[in-house]
Structure 1
Amino acid sequence: MLMAALLAVVGLPAMAAEPGASEWATSESGKVRLISATTAIGDSAQLRLGLHFKLEPGWKIYWRTPGDAGYPPKLDWTGSANLDNPQPHWPAPHRFVLAGLQNYGYAGEVILPLDARAPDASRPVAARLAVDFLACAQICVPQKAELGLDLSTGPAEPSAFAHDIGRFAALVPGDGRRHGLSLDGAEALGSGETSALRLTVSSTEPFTDPDAFVEAEDVAAFGQPRVSLSPDRRRAEFHIPVPAGALLKPLAGAPMSVTVTDGMRAFETRMVPVPGTAAPMAAGEAPGLAGMLLVALLGGLILNLMPCVLPVLSIKVIGVLAHGGGERSHVRASFVASGVGIVASFLALAALAIGLKQAGAAVGWGIQFQQPGFLALMVVLLALFAANLWGMFEIPMPAFLFNRGGGVPHHTVLGHFLSGAFATLLATPCSAPFLGTAIGFALARGPAEIAMIFTALGIGMAVPYLAVAIWPDAALKLPKPGRWMVTVRKVLGLALAGTGVWLLSVLMVQAGIWAALITGGAMAAAVATLGLRHRLPAAARPAVTACVVALAGLALAAPFHGSANGEAGPEAGGAVTWGRFDNQSVARLVSEGKVVFVDVTADWCITCKVNKAAVIERGEVARRLSSPGVVALRADWTRPDESISRYLASFGRYGIPFNAVYGPSAPDGIALAELLSEAEVLAALDRAR
């Protein structure tokens, strides 16, 4: 027995190799070899190899995430020739209980498919693999095998192992579409030693033996799931506890992945759990969906009245005025097109949110304004829209975005559609009553709910357009277009230019003052160049167009070469002195008997600025926030910050503004409405004491 173990540890061969395979390395636990799906390299640089384990009864090896103990096979390809580092794929694991520990791995026989590449198809491949793995039965024995496989040049005929490698490759979890499996929701329950995950998974076929394996950097291990099935067995709810001491960070907002298995079916996906309620959701139930659709409809409608949408009014007003004295059919078609553009843009945002959520990335309302490149793009578009309203150009160069984008009276259907889309884009840095509630509900659910809620938001924002489409006489009664519109266009162009200046101030925070100066200066020069266009001969106008394009390119490139300003410290000089937000310090301050007011804001969030000017830093609220026993903390989300994203997610929020009040009577925090009122803030401060 000892001799057999020693032979396995040093990887001595036990039997002769077959064509397309290395020799077996044997031990007490079983044997392992390296195999190939082809007998030679062939013309393709791609190779399919496999690491083939045959284990004795009672012995097991580990998956890439082993569970409570153990470690996965470790592969070292040092010494190989004409072979890039092959990457293993992991068939769906099984759950084992060994000495009271939950472990994930394989028993019997398993092949780990390996995707490999031969850089030079004219040279043979020499695969040399040192594999370290842990095999366990009643005891665990570390193993090491030295394997070698040579593949010659020539036609790549299927080997005797092609079918076996393909059979185990089919057991590697995909995205679930092939097996009709999908993740509908991931929620974090409880806190500390009572933390757990609740996953909801749907299936087109009845479940037979479902299981779930969760992997997360900040959780040492997960317990065995408790599974509840719907009456038709097509919906499974997994309650997965976190053992005491295994949780390193809060579950809510933490990126992780899950592998769900059901017999021979399996799928794998990324997820970011959101805060959940303790009560489980009944099978097939979507609590409050109908009511939440109405909330989303109202949120989208109110979004038209929020300050961030005011710059878009220049485009809206010009579009409406252009219809004065026009034909009813043209009015109806143009406003329907604008409404469809808004709804389509919200659907595009929904698709983006679904994709980011499935990939495990942070999602939120308006987070694109955290990206300097996006800010520069908006500055460029706003500057060109303003120049168009000022009459500096009417056609050629930006015809697709401007003549067709709502900048001139002679709109096309596509132009109205694009103006609606642009209105949506500029509306995203704003929040509104009902909007945050609807967004939070959607992003805590599955793709279907996200699509429905975002569609309702789009319809709500499009209601004014659709109303004019239904009653076109409202636009037809306006004065006919005339010289007076030139003055209106100039005034509204100034509104767009002002919006661009505001975005430059945000860009300065994110990418530095030089990036903002270069972007702003380049677009100012571009607008000035467009102003000279009509004074030049026709032959010189292509050069003007080229100059404007070059300046716009410079404006877009500047943020990528800038450097962000340092992190802001505590703010002073206003009506309230702010400390820097730190989630851990909140609990400490509350334990000291303090009341804590948290303000999550960003330079690009206009609703945040309205709250600050109208409520937070004036009158009785400012006096209370500056009084003894009250601490004001500000979290700046101008740039991406994962800790702030997780904090928002812990309240089921995915956008800002967000404000919360903590205190001895409210240690978990009182979340306030998006649009603050003095009475609400003062009442929360009193309740938290």
Structure 2
Amino acid sequence: MKRHALALLLLLAVPAGGAAPAFAQGNEAGDGIGAWTKAGPVEARLVSAVRGTGDLTALPLGLELRLEPGWKTYWRSPGDAGFAPRLDWSRSGNLGEATLSYPAPHRFSVLGFETAGYDTAVLFPIQGAPATPGKPVDLALTAELLVCSEICVPQTLDLALALPAGPADPSEVANDVARAQALVPKGPNGLLRIDSVQGKGSSLEVEATAADGFVTPDLFVETDPALTFSAPKAVFSDNDRHVRLTLTVTDPQPGLDLAGRAMTLTLVDGDKAVEAPVTASAGSAAPTPGSVGLAAMLGVALLGGLILNLMPCVLPVLSLKLMSVVKHGGRAPAAVRAGFLASAAGILTSFLLMASALVGIKAAGGAVGWGIQFQQPLFLVFMVVLVTLFSANLWGLFEVPLPRALADRLGGDGLAGPFATGMFATLLATPCSAPFLGTAVGFALSKGPVEVYAIFATLGVGLALPYLAVAAWPRVAGWLPKPGRWMATLKTVLGFALMLTAVWLLSVLTAQIGEVAAATVGLLMAALVLALWVGRSARGAARTAGPALAGVLAVAAFAMPAAVGPSAGAAPVVSDSKARWVPFVESTIRDHVAAGRTVFVDVTADWCITCQANKKLVLNRGEVAERLEDKGVVAMRADWTRPDATIAKFLSDHGRYGIPFNIVYGPGAPDGIALPELLSDGAVLEALGKAAGKSS
């Protein structure tokens, strides 16, 4: 009954006949700023970000209000009482339409009443459209506002602003209009994220995450038909980066259940805000990265690291793994155990080094993610040089002998080789995400350093489990054939297989620094192998000159990205699919969905092998390719081969920090249906059907 009681107070507070309208005096021609018009405790004016209409089809306008101290006006959904601004543009000339947007509101709690609105000052952005572009526009607005203090008084203001047909140069208030537009809550962003929404009778429980931590979070809920809610009760966790907000309907009807009800949520924290259309779920909310415990996520990480052994990502390192295994044939169990433990230690060390790098980048405010090192040209050159040297070593072109004392300490043939192999295999296995691995990495990178180190260490243990299993039962190696001449042939073959990895890395480098620069790196590597071969065959001083020249060529390869630049000549994204792939533009997804279309988003990169496998095996062939070709489907491709802050933000908004990532939007799934890392025809077709509002 609060709404009816306050409405009665409003009527009693209004003088008989209401407030008389106040009129604007106009503006100086061509300055884009209307005159202030005062009515009681509020004054208002129309403003424009441009001085003239030019040839614009959309005019950036604004309605600016100033209120006397202690007075407020209302948001589009005022709460327990009040009403939003009512605007009449009918007296305007050459104005086709005008759409008003609302900056994030403030909450006012008075005597148990909860309302939302603005005090002191507010500028409402307005998107105007001239009926005939290029002609003058005469704006004439009658605005009905309700302003309240201890009493509430409706006010009517008549405002005017003339925009001539001159150039659309910025006006003095252009920055103010742009700043007001930036304060209007929009869809997902990298600062705030709504994780889950759960309805329990007349109560609503919302889980949310803030990248930089919450300060004073507030939540406004809009439903149809309208319901009024209490102020939220907040429970913080994860150093204030996660919050659970609980609200209740203030005047519930008998039997009210919010589960399954569509609503719009506006989450506000200071100057940050996000708006999201959602449907409240029933029962227990689905676990999210912010709400799952560390112990449970460690189990997910262990499974993700183990599955990584079976992913396409490991194809480039199969030769290293195979060589590591066959070397132990016929060896004593103690030597077998030591070698496999060394490889496992190399894997674990690599994961801890990656965790340290990600913690440092995150602390410095940079974008973090799984496999993002493959976006850096210098890292790619480093990997090309390293792979080339591994191949040359397998071909017997060079060896790096250890000091005798160190070799004895490491155990016979030495453990440095298996350790280095484990580290190197890990680096080459990280350019894509495996099932469960993406969930674990997303959890870690949304938390603090402790969680990052714990999750990455567990991922390393998972990837090293096959090595640890052989170390636990070293007699398994006794089933392998004993080393002999056949190993020389095998090493030659595996060396060529590893060189194919270098070719793949060069193809990724092409997208970073262009074909000519990447080809030059390839030629330098060919010359490096030739120099090592000549040095190996030569005698005297020439034997030393070969490795020295190889070192110079390696340094020259590292200089190539700096000389050319990280994006010069970068190759455009080329699709071999039938589908009409369009570049990723997140802001257009909602428009496509509103128009009844289904949007399939594929976040991919040239360095992501699982991404390429998904394209070859699912997206580019069969019924899936035909569905993506349909006119009612928009196929969007987000290429993350090179660093892209927009794509990184899109991934983090969905709790992802690695790729592949595929998600489908549509009238039946406006919030999107995320697909698993490894795609299948059935999963994609089912998601497309659900998103379109059809059964698969």
Superposition TM-score, scaled by structure 1 size: 0.60
Stretch moving more, 338-347 or 639-648: 338-347
Q: Is the Cα contact below 8 Å between 1:198 and 1:239 reproduced in 2?
A: no
Partner residue, 2:600: 597
- How far apart, CA to CA, are the structure 2 residues paired with 1:200 and 1:558? 36
Give SS of 1:326's match. Answer: coil
RMSD: 3.8
Partner residue, 1:588: 591
Percent identity over the alignment is: 51
- Give the counterpart of 1:541 among 540, 543, 567: 543
Partner residue, 2:690: 687
Is residue 292 of structure 1 aligned with residue 286 of structure 2? no
Q: Is the Cα contact below 8 Å between 1:186 and 1:197 reproduced in 2?
A: no
Partner residue, 1:152: none
- How far apart, CA to CA, are the structure 2 residues paired with 1:426 and 1:614? 22
Partner residue, 1:335: 340
**Shift of the alpha carbon at 1:213?**
8.8
Partner residue, 1:324: 329
Paired amino acid for 1:680 = A
Partner residue, 2:520: 518
- How far apart, CA to CA, are the structure 2 residues paired with 1:687 and 1:201? 35
**Shift of the alpha carbon at 1:565?**
4.9
1:190-229 map, 5 Å: 198=209, 212=215, 228=235
String of CA shifts for 1:373-422, please: whole Å, max 9, x gaps.
100000000011011111111236xx79xx99xxxx97422322221111
Q: Is the Cα contact below 8 Å between 2:603 and 2:662 reproduced in 1?
A: yes
Paired amino acid for 2:372 = I
Paired amino acid for 1:486 = A
- How far apart, CA to CA, are the structure 2 residues paired with 1:242 and 1:588? 22
Give SS of 2:303's match. Answer: helix
Paired amino acid for 2:613 = V
1:152-163 map, 5 Å: none
String of CA shifts for 1:634-659, please: whole Å, max 9, x gaps.
00000000000000111100010000
Give SS of 2:663's match. Answer: strand
String of CA shifts for 1:498-536, please: whole Å, max 9, x gaps.
111111111111111222011111011000111122321
Q: Is the Cα contact below 8 Å between 2:638 and 2:647 reproduced in 1?
A: yes
Q: Is the Cα contact below 8 Å between 1:602 and 1:637 reproduced in 2?
A: yes
Q: Is the Cα contact below 8 Å between 1:196 and 1:242 reproduced in 2?
A: no
Give SS of 2:322's match. Answer: helix
- Give the counterpart of 2:577 among 570, 574, 577: 574
Paired amino acid for 1:371 = Q
- How far apart, CA to CA, are the structure 2 residues paired with 1:653 and 1:198? 13
Give SS of 1:652's match. Answer: coil
Give SS of 1:668's match. Answer: strand
Give SS of 1:654's match. Answer: coil
Is residue 383 of structure 1 aligned with residue 388 of structure 2? yes
Paired amino acid for 1:358 = A
Superposition TM-score, scaled by structure 2 size: 0.59
Give SS of 2:603's match. Answer: strand
Is residue 632 of structure 1 aligned with residue 614 of structure 2? no
- Give the counterpart of 1:623 among 606, 609, 626: 626
- How far apart, CA to CA, are the structure 1 residues paired with 2:332 and 2:538? 37
Would the alpha carbon gap of residues 637 and 557 (structure 1) be closer, same or farther in structure 2, given more than 3 Å must change?
same
- Give the counterpart of 2:459 among 439, 457, 460: 457
Q: Is the Cα contact below 8 Å between 1:589 and 1:595 reproduced in 2?
A: yes
- Give the counterpart of 1:355 among 354, 360, 368: 360
String of CA shifts for 1:96-144, please: whole Å, max 9, x gaps.
xxx9789xxxxxxxxxxxxxxxxxxxxxxxxxxxxxxxxxxxxxxxxxx
Paired amino acid for 1:589 = H
1:89-104 map, 5 Å: none
Give SS of 1:392's match. Answer: coil
Stretch moving more, 676-685 or 415-424: 415-424
**Shift of the alpha carbon at 1:234?**
10
Would the alpha carbon gap of residues 633 and 481 (structure 1) be closer, same or farther in structure 2, given more than 3 Å must change?
same
- How far apart, CA to CA, are the structure 1 residues paired with 2:447 and 2:666? 31
Partner residue, 1:421: 423
1:502-517 map, 5 Å: 502-517=504-519
Paired amino acid for 2:594 = S
- How far apart, CA to CA, are the structure 1 residues paired with 2:642 and 2:240? 39
String of CA shifts for 1:14-63, please: whole Å, max 9, x gaps.
xxxxxxxxxxxxxxxxxxxxxxxxxxxxxxxxxxxxxxxxxxxxxxxxxx
Partner residue, 1:466: 468
- How far apart, CA to CA, are the structure 1 residues paired with 2:210 and 2:633? 39
Would the alpha carbon gap of residues 595 and 364 (structure 1) be closer, same or farther in structure 2, given more than 3 Å must change?
same
- How far apart, CA to CA, are the structure 1 residues paired with 2:194 and 2:497? 47
Paired amino acid for 1:342 = I
Query: How many residue pairs get matched?
Result: 454
Unaligned regions of 5+ residues in structure 2, if any? 1-117, 122-189, 197-204, 218-230, 246-265, 277-281
- Give the counterpart of 1:531 among 515, 528, 533: 533
- How far apart, CA to CA, are the structure 2 residues paired with 1:534 and 1:540? 9
- How far apart, CA to CA, are the structure 1 residues paired with 2:651 and 2:240? 29
Partner residue, 1:562: 564
String of CA shifts for 1:199-257, please: whole Å, max 9, x gaps.
6999xxxxxxxx9599xxxxxxxxx9987579xx9989778996599558899xxxxxx
- How far apart, CA to CA, are the structure 2 residues paired with 1:549 and 1:367? 27
Would the alpha carbon gap of residues 573 and 444 (structure 1) be closer, same or farther in structure 2, given more than 3 Å must change?
closer
Q: Is the Cα contact below 8 Å between 1:595 and 1:664 reproduced in 2?
A: yes
- How far apart, CA to CA, are the structure 2 residues paired with 1:372 and 1:249? 35
- Give the counterpart of 2:662 among 640, 659, 664: 659
Partner residue, 1:310: 315
Stretch moving more, 668-677 or 429-438: 429-438
Would the alpha carbon gap of residues 357 and 101 (structure 1) be closer, same or farther in structure 2, given more than 3 Å must change?
farther
Is residue 366 of structure 1 aligned with residue 371 of structure 2? yes
- How far apart, CA to CA, are the structure 2 residues paired with 1:575 and 1:645? 27
**Shift of the alpha carbon at 1:610?**
0.2
**Shift of the alpha carbon at 1:441?**
1.6
Give SS of 1:532's match. Answer: helix
Partner residue, 1:479: 481
Partner residue, 2:497: 495
Give SS of 1:524's match. Answer: helix
**Shift of the alpha carbon at 1:561?**
1.4
